[in-house]
Amino acid sequence: MTSAPGDRQIAVVAFAQTVHRRSSEELSEVEMLMPVLHEVLDRTGLKTADIDFTCSGSSDYLAGRAFSFTLALDGVGAWPPISESHVEMDGAWALYEAWTKLLTGDADTALVYSYGKSSPGSVRDVLTRQLDPYYVAPLWPDSVALAALQAQALIDAGDTDEPALAAVASRNREAASANPHTQLKGPVAQGDYLVRPLRTGDCPPIGDGAAAVILAAGDRARDLCAHPAWIRGIDHRVEAHGLGVRDLTDSPSTRLAAERAGAFERPVDTAELHAPFTAQEVVLRKALRLGDGVVVNPSGGALAANPIMAAGLIRIGEAAARIHRGESGRALAHATSGPCLQQNLVAVLEGEPR
Amino acid sequence: MSKEPVAVVGIGQTKHVAARRDVSIAGLVREAARRALDDAELTWADIDAVVIGKAPDFFEGVMMPELYLADALGAVGKPMLRVHTAGSVGGSTALVAANLVAARVHGTVLTLAFEKQSESNAMWGLSLPIPFQQPLLAGAGGFFAPHIRAYMRRSGAPETVGALVAYKDRRNALKNPYAHLHEHDITLDKVMSSPMLWDPIRYSETCPSSDGACAMILTDRAGAARAPRPPAWMLGGAMRSEPTLFAGKDFVSPQAGQDCAADVYRQAGITDPRREIDGAEIYVPFSWYEPMWLENLGFAGEGEGWKLTEAGVTELDGDLPVNMSGGVLSTNPIGASGMIRFAEAALQVRGQAGEHQVDGARRVLGHAYGGGSQFFSMWLVGAEPPDS
């Protein structure tokens, strides 16, 4: 899809997120989410009853219980009953579902939220349960080990080296200093090897967090926001699951999604990339053809805060917020899921000329 | 901008059984998808996007299994969405896929839902640790039995109604080659003398645990014009949710269910569902939910649903057949059960339902619900395209 069909244009009109933290054991997921829901609604003056469609993203495996999203719905206040759906994915894909719902004309406003608490368990172990359950998952290869395979492949291909990766880490965390929501900020030591060639500094912090976005169509968006961030295009693609059949130094799914979202039609000035590991930023920059003039991850990115299931939606929210504040005219937001960038989503957001 | 009409041009199911030990999860879903493609006479290359749904990941012990299933479903290089709305997920998944077509984002979409309960232990998968759930709830039947008793008290329904539903659905299942339970020696007496599990729910009034998958090919007007067999047209579709527990919640007839049905009827121009709809595939995991949902869906007035059941109106040859396929009571791969309702409704209006076909079915409702009677998804499909 290169752009929204017909004349119906959809915009991100508000964004809110938690302060992401290593642990929030004193809070339930719902308690963590509630302030974010209130904040995003307050920004538009909307009440739950004014929202035409609600969609969320989360994962039962992080919560450690089945149907974990049902409790979050109670927090939304679904009474009188609401039109609502849920994806067992990062909230960026919940936003995609809401975007299509608004395109049909059945809704003019949508609330999108997502959340994840990694602190209750070992997230490296939990993520192994995403893998092929018969041949791979029984070996328990963890998420850092898989990312390390990807990083080593890039180094072997001559696409990067360890000092370059350290520079990626340093730049992201320096940018995060200006972002009150991030977990790791400022100078962070590269540290020891966690899994060669990745050092602790190349890896994301483990943390808990939530985010929410409000979408609106056409004039409704202009009513709710002085400077709406219009979604000019959004697309997502998945690749094969087996790492052995993929070129880990490239991300064809990101490139295709970007092409379908219209990212290459005109240059962007900002890119928010969901790259939890430093080496993945190298892969994404190449796939997205980002030049040196593009500001990458002014928020600090996933290396500064990586609440699983919300980190992708946060990239869209951060890109939109730059447009709301007049700091960007055309921004790209990216979200990823699965081992070694298996599934990728790209959205292109634009402000109106001022 | 008006929406693009959505047509169902391909339907595929697996033979639902207690345990498909001969296939992996990937093999199971691919079997259903392959059958849907064959029905539509399409290939993997004709599919623009895949929308997949299932109930909790704990049922198979695989986190976000769509990642692993991308290859098996021909999704590599394509968009793939994973929906999860508890028991209503099969219906919600179809509606998310339908929206992709209606919004003209994609022309032809494969949608699929599955559950392979034999991979793991569903009772364990639903046994939530304290403090998330009070202990001693004793499974889904323990949750729903009090609401059934509330219905019996409110409506004055005789105790035999539940058994009549189960007897009907199990006989209907005998006509459906894909149904899990084929009880050739079923009698009303056998149902009524089966062990009591959660009073008033007897063993034969409960659904089985199944392995199975269901797939549909949804497409736009141009795709429907190329279809080799009659398409089913979506005339209306909606989802509604309400909180799990709150003071004033009506578990017998939840407001979300009523609102969802009203939205579907409004979209389809239905003013008298009892007269204008020719059959319904309703999510009935415990037999008493047939009369309860007949009222919730507007097919009968409050307290009157059981009278339709008792009078035989909901029999396969009745005036308003319900669960012609045998329903959830005969086949329950949880995540797929909602999509099976939607797909069976489509089979009926396409005239492709075989031995359990309702003669002249033109408009049929597919219904799913989940959670603590809090998530609802429904669609109404017709043999004719929508007006406009």
Spatial distance between the Cα atoms of B335 and B244, rounded to a whole number of angstroms: 19
Give chain B's end-to-end CA distance (angstroms, integer): 12
Q: Do B84 and A88 touch (CB under 8 A)?
A: yes
Mean pLDDT along residues A251-267: 98
Spatial distance between the Cα atoms of A100 and A79, rounded to a whole number of angstroms: 24
Q: pLDDT tens across B353-385, in order? A: 999 999 999 999 999 999 889 999 999 999 999
Q: pLDDT tens across A261-281, in order? A: 999 999 999 999 999 999 999
CA distances (Å), A275 to each of A122, A144, A172, A202, A312, in order?
20, 13, 10, 10, 9
The structure tokens listed for A44 are: 């538009």
Q: Do B79 and A134 touch (CB under 8 A)?
A: no
pLDDT at B130: 57
pLDDT at B133: 56
Closest CA to A92 of A309, A329, A354: A309
Q: In 3-state terms, what secondary structure has residue A7?
A: coil
| Residues in chain A within 8 Å Cβ distance of B132 | 65, 71
Q: Do A65 and B132 touch (CB under 8 A)?
A: yes
Packing angle of the helix pair A311-324, A91-103 (nearest 10 deg): 60
pLDDT at A3: 40
Query: Does A225 contact B at CB distance below 8 Å?
Result: no
| Residues in chain B within 8 Å Cβ distance of A83 | 238-241
Q: What is the DSSP letter of A200?
A: G
CA distances (Å), A160 to each of A245, A282, A286, B222, in order?
22, 7, 11, 48
- Where on the phi/psi map is residue B182: left (φ > 0), alpha (ψ -120 to 50), or beta? beta
Whether complex ipTM tops 0.95? yes
Spatial distance between the Cα atoms of B46 and B5, rounded to a whole number of angstroms: 18
Count of pairs with CB atoms under 8 A, one residue in A, one in B: 194
Q: Do B128 and A8 touch (CB under 8 A)?
A: no
Q: Do B240 and A81 touch (CB under 8 A)?
A: yes
Q: Do B240 and A82 touch (CB under 8 A)?
A: yes
Q: Do A6 and B128 touch (CB under 8 A)?
A: no
Which residues 108-167 of B are in CB contact (within 8 Å) with A?
119, 125-126, 128-129, 132
| Residues in chain B within 8 Å Cβ distance of A336 | none
Spatial distance between the Cα atoms of A349 and A42, rounded to a whole number of angstroms: 22
The structure tokens listed for A37 are: 């829901």
Query: Does A241 contact B at CB distance below 8 Å?
Result: yes
Q: Do B99 and A252 touch (CB under 8 A)?
A: no
Which residues 60-119 of A are in CB contact (within 8 Å) with B?
60-61, 64-67, 69-71, 73-74, 77-89, 93, 96-97, 100-101, 103-106
Helix (H) or strand (E) holding B11: strand B7-13
Q: Do B82 and A86 touch (CB under 8 A)?
A: no
The structure tokens listed for A230 are: 């219009």
Q: Do B96 and A97 touch (CB under 8 A)?
A: yes
Spatial distance between the Cα atoms of B104 and A69, rounded to a whole number of angstroms: 29
Distance in Å, alpha carbon of B191 to nearest chain A alpha carbon: 32
Q: What are the residues whose beta carbons fall under 8 Å from the beta carbon of B374, sequence distance 6 or more?
A: A70, A73, A78, B86, B241, B242, B243, B244, B254, B256
- pTM greater than 0.95 (yes/no): yes
Closest CA to A342 of A238, A205, A268, A190: A238
pLDDT at B45: 98
> What does pLDDT average to over chain A?
96
DSSP output for A125-192: HHHHTTS-TTTTGGG---HHHHHHHHHHHHHHTTS--HHHHHHHHHHHHHHHTT-TT-SS-S-----S
Spatial distance between the Cα atoms of A269 and B168, rounded to a whole number of angstroms: 64
The structure tokens listed for B298 are: 């507007």
Spatial distance between the Cα atoms of B82 and A276, rounded to a whole number of angstroms: 22
- Average pLDDT per 10 consecutive residues for chain B, totaling 388 residues: 92 98 98 98 98 95 97 98 97 98 98 95 71 59 92 98 98 98 98 96 96 98 98 98 91 98 98 98 98 98 98 98 98 97 98 98 98 95 90
| Residues in chain B within 8 Å Cβ distance of A80 | 242, 255, 259
Q: What are the residues whose beta carbons fall under 8 Å from the beta carbon of A40, sequence distance 6 or more?
A: A14, A15, A16, A111, A113, A212, A213, A214
pLDDT at A330: 98
Per-residue confidence at A178, pLDDT binned at 50, 70, 90?
Answer: very high
Q: What is the DSSP letter of B286?
A: B
Spatial distance between the Cα atoms of B322 and B315, rounded to a whole number of angstroms: 7
B206 with B329: CB under 8 angstroms?
A: yes
Closest CA to A125 of A140, A139, A145, A138: A140
Question: Within 10 Å of residue B165's Cβ, how many Cβ atoms?
Answer: 27
Per-residue confidence at A257, pLDDT binned at 50, 70, 90?
Answer: very high
Q: Do A83 and B239 touch (CB under 8 A)?
A: yes
Which residues 264-303 of B are in CB contact (within 8 Å) with A?
none
Distance in Å, alpha carbon of A163 to nearest chain B alpha carbon: 32
Q: Do B63 and A6 touch (CB under 8 A)?
A: no
Q: pLDDT tens across A154-171, in order? A: 999 999 999 999 999 999
**pLDDT higher than 90, residue A1:** no
**pLDDT higher than 50, residue A19:** yes
B282 with B297: CB under 8 angstroms?
A: yes
pLDDT at B1: 53
Q: In 3-state terms, what secondary structure has residue A299?
A: coil
CA A49 to chain centre: 27
Mean pLDDT along residues A194-198: 98
CA A251 to chain centre: 17
B291 with B157: CB under 8 angstroms?
A: yes
b vs e for A172-184, b when ≥16 Cβ sit within 10 Å of the residue's Cβ?
Answer: bbebbeebebbbb
B295 with B305: CB under 8 angstroms?
A: yes
Question: Residue A236: closest CA among chain B residues belongs to which residue?
Answer: B79
Burial class (CB in 10 A: 0-12, 13-18, 19+), A133: buried
Bridge partners of B45? none
DSSP output for B71-114: TTTT-BTS-EEEE-BTBTHHHHHHHHHHHHHHTTS-SEEEEEEE
Percent of the residues in chain A that have a pLDDT greater than 90, as a whole number = 92
Question: Residue A234: closest CA among chain B residues belongs to which residue?
Answer: B105
Query: Does B262 contact A at CB distance below 8 Å?
Result: no
Q: pLDDT tens across A93-114, in order? A: 999 999 999 999 999 999 999 9
What are the DSSP E strand ranges found in A28-100?
53-57, 84-87
DSSP output for B234-283: EEEEEEEE--SS-TT--SSS-HHHHHHHHHHHHHHT-S-HHHH--EEE--
Number of residues in chain B: 388
Spatial distance between the Cα atoms of B226 and B228, rounded to a whole number of angstroms: 6
Query: Does A342 contact B at CB distance below 8 Å?
Result: yes
Number of residues in chain A: 354
Q: Do B105 and A1 touch (CB under 8 A)?
A: yes
CA B178 to chain centre: 14
The structure tokens listed for A113 are: 């939220």
B55 with B89: CB under 8 angstroms?
A: yes
